[in-house]
Amino acid sequence: MIPNDRVKKDETEQLFYAVDSIRTVLAYSNDSYYNATDEEVFAGTRMLVKTLQKVTKRLDNLEYELKQLVFKEAAEDCEKQRSRLAYITNNKEASFLMNSVASRKGSYWIGLYKNGTNWRWLNGDSLSAHSSYWAKNTPRRYSCGVLDSCRAGSATCLYDSGCKIVRNWICKMVANTKVIMEDPTK
């Protein structure tokens, strides 16, 4: 049998190790945690736990939101996180994004909206209504872009949708978060 004082010493060592490990994790987001007191580390841990309680899943530079909002609110939520609703800049990115959505159930807001008769990404780039990214028989009459779990027989997952429907969304982490968008819900 292990003496009681040895158990307490082991638990204390484990606690100090845990605090140092948490300090290191927190320091990745804020250098000031390297020299933080244990109390500051515990406060940072509480903040970290609150952040982790937000039901998200990160994949590369994308964040999939599992709660649901209308398009405009989803775009604002991404902006608060220093990101944007996901947009596509090349075929490799399109393939990655569509494949990752295809492995999930549901549909996700992305940073695509209709400005008059033109489709635009939130970064300001245009998307032709004849683009190969669109699913068959789309776009129709709606004003916001949605990636959906690819429907049977469809090679692409991009659809247009009414902007006031609540959906999950995908944020894309970007360096410059200035959103270039007119409100598609007007």
Give residue 101's pLDDT: 79
pLDDT tens track for 101-138: 777 777 889 999 998 889 999 888 998 877 888 888 88
Give residue 50's pLDDT: 59
Locate CATH 3.10.100.10 in the chain. Answer: 56-173
CA distance readout (Å), 81 to 27, 39, 61, 176, 184: 19, 26, 12, 12, 21
Give residue 150's pLDDT: 65
- The CATH architecture annotation of domain 56-173 reads Roll (3.10)
Contact by Cβ (8 Å): 170, 62:
yes
pLDDT tens track for 44-68: 777 766 555 443 444 455 666 667 8
Contact by Cβ (8 Å): 170, 109:
yes
pLDDT band at 5 (very low <50, low <70, confident <90, very high): low
> Distance between CA atoms of 80 and 173, rounded to whole angstroms?
11
Task: In the chain, count H helices and then E strands.
Answer: 4, 9
Contact by Cβ (8 Å): 44, 36:
yes
